[in-house]
Structure 1
Amino acid sequence: MTKFSQWSNQYIGGEWRKGQSQSENSNQNPFDHSELVKIQLASVEDIDAAYQSAAKAQKSWQKSSPETRSAILKKAAEVLENRREEIVQILIAETGSSFAKANAEVDFSIADINEFAELPFQMETSVVSSVIPGKENRVYRLPVGVVGVISPFNFPLYLSMRAIAPALAVGNGVVVKPGLQTFISGGLFIAKIFEEAGLPKGVLNAVVASSSEIGDVFIEHPIPKVISFTGSTAVGKRVGEICGKHFKRVALELGGNNVMIVLEDADINQAASAAVFGKFLHQGQICMALNRIIVDRKIYDKFVQVFKEKTQLIKSGNPADPEVFVGPLISKNQLEQVQEWIDESIREGAVCIQRGNVTGTLMEPVILTNVTNDMAIAKNEQFAPVAAILPVDSEAEAIRIANDSEYGLSGSIFTGDLEHGVEVALQIQTGMIHVNDQSVNCESNVPFGGEKSSGVGRYGGHWSLDEFTTTRWVSVQKENRPFPF
């Protein structure tokens, strides 16, 4: 029996039960590769059962009062806070999170749940004028029915919760399929939280399945009307194609190649501190992490010096150590890929001024200077602790390079003139950007999402209301209307 043996069942129809697949999945610690737990995977039949349960339970859940739905969400936030220590340990063991990152993820999740607990009271019916005498036009906001949620490995608790919580709040049923590498924190733990909070059975279901076995069934199934997907751009494009074919709505939050632009009047020390945090948090395995740090050549050498000094303060190692900031990458394949990009970029002319040791899946921070935007390390989303610092000769060049990417998720600008920073920020083709801050920011009441290949749709605040509800026009003819027949 392992420490996490309780997490070996699927959650379908309000019951914890074995998956019907003939295959198992071993959940392993990415640092020492010890087995945390094995789970019998969900089959196609299990996926169908989960969706059927959600559809059946949703009918009465939709009819529950706003007060009831809000109270259950607030209770879920309370349960999560009470079980903070447990989920922090799961995030450390399952995802390689540092203590700081794991606790921040719990904080983000609690904040989101509490924010979305207000959504039930925003399901308003509006009345608009009519050109027809005696007619009243009503516009109702309604839940879509059932939402399918597919979440990734890097921020599994938060990135699942930000879709599950608002979808439940507005009266939908939900089926979540978390990443195989993080199925406890990304799915099963969340199901347990809402079960303890008193959510009616069947409204929320969590299935752990291999896409290689179930194919596209999770997306193609006729019951879910909206698919929420967070993950790579390549897979997101596939999800979008399938949803389009089946006339389903889709919310996609995909990859990023985020920039920090450091203008010549920036506070170098502050910019370097922010860049180190925004680059190396969770080993760079964050969609919002800094991928390219673009610095005006007039301050380039000084910035690189300060950035390197601050990077050398980072402790790498076992994330179970509270002092560790950089832990393991999620897989050996990911590490090998980024190593290839580093070597390729060096051959192309990048200068490596720091390249720490690699042990197993643990990669110590790497710093590459004299990087150009066409190098492998700048073109690709790294998801690794590799800082690429690009020199530019002007603000115009910085903006051009920033926009010379298929991605547009997050970013930042550092400058001594805040309003000018805003002017620059508005020229960057991205869904989110921050002046005099780094790129990794989450707040529950603002729109979160990207442009271009970084996705479609927005999470957060009332923007989530738009993603998980539909509107219906109901007209009421209060006076007899004359017809020509």
Structure 2
Amino acid sequence: MKTDFTRIYIDGKWLNGNSEKSIINVNPFNGEELFTIQSANKEDLDSAYKAAQQAQDEWAKELPQNKRAILEKALVVMQENKELIIDWLIKEAGSTFMKASAEFGASINILKEATTYPFRMEGKILPSQTPGKENRVYRNPLGVIGIISPWNFPFHLAIRSIAPAIATGNAVVIKPATDTPVTGGLLFASIFEAAGLPKGLLNVIVGRGSEIGDEIVTHKTPRLISFTGSTDVGRHIGELAGKGLKKTALELGGNNVFIVMDDANIEQAVESALFGKFYHQGQICMSINRILVHKEVYDEFAELFINMAKNLKYGNPADKDTNVGPLINHDQVERILGDLKTSVEQGAKIRLGGTVEGNVLAPTVLTDVTNTMPIAENEIFGPVAILIPFDSEEEAIEMANIYPFGLSGSVHSSNIERGTSIAHKIHTGMIHVNDQSVNDEAHMPFGGEKDSGLGRFNGEWVLEEFTTLKWLSVQHIRRDYGPFINQLK
């Protein structure tokens, strides 16, 4: 497997990009320059899409067992290179060792699920209202899929689209985030090259959004754009795709709530909240954004939460016992500190943390927060926990639904039916009772409502996203067209 990632990958070839600009890949923890890569431009993007389109025609006809064999080989390649992949996730994405290991495992599960897709391209035979007619419905690949992968869980969230796209007979062109060109794209070129994937089916374009960001969507070739990222960018992609009548699969931002009812097991709730808030520094679309706690248990929850949060180890993500590593870049640090400062001016109290060293923001806990402060209104995407009190079940539901996001969430109650009843009333694509909000299983539908996105990934649901249906009818006997034809005889 190739391990030099200083070139882009088009039609089975490792090439220098044709842009005059370059991208410096930097370790977010220590600022070390990992390498410099020449950016791709519109010419490279066009070449990639043309290669994908040409390769896809034959791939769509390939026998399902042959498609599956390549995916199974890719599994072997990934497992053989586990340490390499984890190392890149740590040094490029700022992942802690624990998070990188878990991300690798989740990616393996996605690929395992995808190996089943070639034999799940099911059609149907349906009755007809016309005598002698047979209705057939075929499931076919879309063609070429454009993928824009994020920097937070780059490996997992890229393979989540790459593997099912290839498994269902499509070709792909992927543009990884410029912060994570290796773990969000180039690693897959190397993995699938080693697995024997025919050239042209997987192309990786590393380039700046200002140069090719719109063009990856507006190019005439792709039939679907898969994007994971912010709501603002997702909305722009949706507008561009809509003009070209292209499908989109968009997993966007969230403002996920964690609701602690007055009858919750406080120790269990605190443990769940710590994981759901501080895992990968809170840089997960599913991370807890607001912790809503019933006023009867607010002080008890806050005391235990703060005492346990004090023990979180933060700093170098390469240390195997580190819980909280760096944010991806200093712009993210400054953005969070700005919301933190304004919220404190409005009455919030910093009970823990608030300090910064480099790109590492210490685990931070705020109390006396209201639901309208900037730190509550905006997606934090960092290691800042905010505790907001509420008086009643109805108030908690209203507070949860006030913002136009609906990705994930959680409810804690010792009464399962009560917790489930509340969960049903939260407008979100995913929600979990007596757990936290960061859950993803390869066979379960993953996606959001409202401003948190369109479509669903994983399992049978991604099959719907990445394929199209064709109605083909067969008239077995001569059809009688009635007076329309009879009067002509």
Q: Shorter-normalised TM-score: what interval?
A: over 0.9
Name the % identity: 51
Structure 1 unmatched runs, 5+: none
Determine if the alignment matches structure 1 residue 19 to structure 2 residue 17: yes
Deviations 1:434-460 (CA, angstroms, capped at 9, x unpaired): 111111011000000000100000001
Query: What secondary structure is seen at the aligned counterpart in 2 of 1:181?
Result: coil
Q: Which residue of 1 aligns with 2:312?
A: 314
Contact kept in structure 2, 1:72 and 1:198, CA below 8 Å: yes
Deviations 1:368-420 (CA, angstroms, capped at 9, x unpaired): 11211100000000111000110001111111101111110000011101122
Q: Which amino acid aligns with 1:159?
A: L
Q: 1:33 to 1:9 in 2, by over 3 A?
A: same
Deviations 1:226-272 (CA, angstroms, capped at 9, x unpaired): 00000000000000000111100000000011010001111101100
Determine if the alignment matches structure 1 residue 296 to structure 2 residue 294: yes
Q: For the residues of structure 1 that align with 2:116 and 2:193, how far apart are their CA atoms?
A: 20
Q: Which amino acid aligns with 1:224?
A: P
Q: Which residue of 1 aligns with 2:453?
A: 455
Question: For 1:360-379, what aligned pairs fall within 5 Å after superposition?
Answer: 360-379=358-377
Contact kept in structure 2, 1:432 and 1:449, CA below 8 Å: yes
Q: For the residues of structure 2 that align with 1:82 and 1:404, how far apart are their CA atoms?
A: 47
Question: For 1:35-54, what aligned pairs fall within 5 Å after superposition?
Answer: 35-54=33-52
Q: For the residues of structure 2 that align with 1:315 and 1:60, how far apart are their CA atoms?
A: 52
Q: Which amino acid aligns with 1:162?
A: R
Q: Which residue of 1 aligns with 2:417?
A: 419
Contact kept in structure 2, 1:5 and 1:36, CA below 8 Å: no
Q: Which residue of 2 aligns with 1:407?
A: 405
Choose which of 123, 126, 141 in structure 2 pairs with 1:125: 123
Query: What secondary structure is seen at the aligned counterpart in 2 of 1:153?
Result: coil
Query: What secondary structure is seen at the aligned counterpart in 2 of 1:180?
Result: coil
Question: For 1:83-482, what aligned pairs fall within 5 Å after superposition?
Answer: 83-482=81-480
Q: For the residues of structure 1 that align with 2:70 and 2:422, how far apart are their CA atoms?
A: 43
| TM-score, normalising length: structure 2 | 0.97
Query: What secondary structure is seen at the aligned counterpart in 2 of 1:298?
Result: coil
Contact kept in structure 1, 2:429 and 2:448, CA below 8 Å: yes
Where does structure 1 differ by over 3 angstroms across 4 or more consecutive aligned residues?
none
Q: For the residues of structure 2 that align with 1:233 and 1:129, how far apart are their CA atoms?
A: 43
Contact kept in structure 1, 2:3 and 2:190, CA below 8 Å: no
Deviations 1:52-73 (CA, angstroms, capped at 9, x unpaired): 0111111111111111111211
Q: For the residues of structure 1 that align with 2:282 and 2:431, how far apart are their CA atoms?
A: 18
Contact kept in structure 2, 1:316 and 1:324, CA below 8 Å: yes
Q: For the residues of structure 2 that align with 1:326 and 1:141, how far apart are their CA atoms?
A: 44
Structure 2 unmatched runs, 5+: none
Deviations 1:54-106 (CA, angstroms, capped at 9, x unpaired): 11111111111111111211221221111110010000000110001001110
Q: For the residues of structure 1 that align with 2:347 and 2:181, how far apart are their CA atoms?
A: 41
Q: Which amino acid aligns with 2:242?
A: G
Determine if the alignment matches structure 1 residue 77 to structure 2 residue 68: no
Q: For the residues of structure 2 that align with 1:27 and 1:249, how far apart are their CA atoms?
A: 32
- Aligned CA RMSD, in angstroms, stands at 1.0
What is the deviation of 1:356?
Answer: 4.2
Q: For the residues of structure 1 that align with 2:143 and 2:334, how far apart are their CA atoms?
A: 42
Query: What secondary structure is seen at the aligned counterpart in 2 of 1:45?
Result: helix
Q: Which amino acid aligns with 2:462?
A: S
Deviations 1:15-50 (CA, angstroms, capped at 9, x unpaired): 111111111100000011110011001110100010
Query: What secondary structure is seen at the aligned counterpart in 1 of 2:190?
Result: helix
Q: For the residues of structure 1 that align with 2:109 and 2:75, how far apart are their CA atoms?
A: 8
**What is the aligned length?**
482
What is the deviation of 1:214?
Answer: 2.3
Q: For the residues of structure 1 that align with 2:74 and 2:310, how far apart are their CA atoms?
A: 40
Query: What secondary structure is seen at the aligned counterpart in 1 of 2:297?
Result: helix
Q: For the residues of structure 2 that align with 1:66 and 1:480, how far apart are their CA atoms?
A: 36
Contact kept in structure 2, 1:363 and 1:385, CA below 8 Å: yes
Q: Which amino acid aligns with 2:50?
A: Q
Deviations 1:292-332 (CA, angstroms, capped at 9, x unpaired): 00000000000000000110110001111111111111111
Q: For the residues of structure 2 that align with 1:215 and 1:271, how far apart are their CA atoms?
A: 41
Q: For the residues of structure 2 that align with 1:67 and 1:266, how far apart are their CA atoms?
A: 50
Query: What secondary structure is seen at the aligned counterpart in 1 of 2:136?
Result: strand
Q: Which amino acid aligns with 2:381?
A: F
Q: 1:5 to 1:200 in 2, by over 3 A?
A: closer
Contact kept in structure 2, 1:21 and 1:41, CA below 8 Å: yes
| TM-score, normalising length: structure 1 | 0.98
Q: For the residues of structure 2 that align with 1:128 and 1:469, how far apart are their CA atoms?
A: 20
Contact kept in structure 1, 2:56 and 2:171, CA below 8 Å: yes
Q: Which amino acid aligns with 2:471?
A: W
Q: Which amino acid aligns with 1:473?
A: W
Q: Which amino acid aligns with 2:330?
A: K
Contact kept in structure 1, 2:25 and 2:179, CA below 8 Å: yes
Q: For the residues of structure 2 that align with 1:214 and 1:123, how far apart are their CA atoms?
A: 33
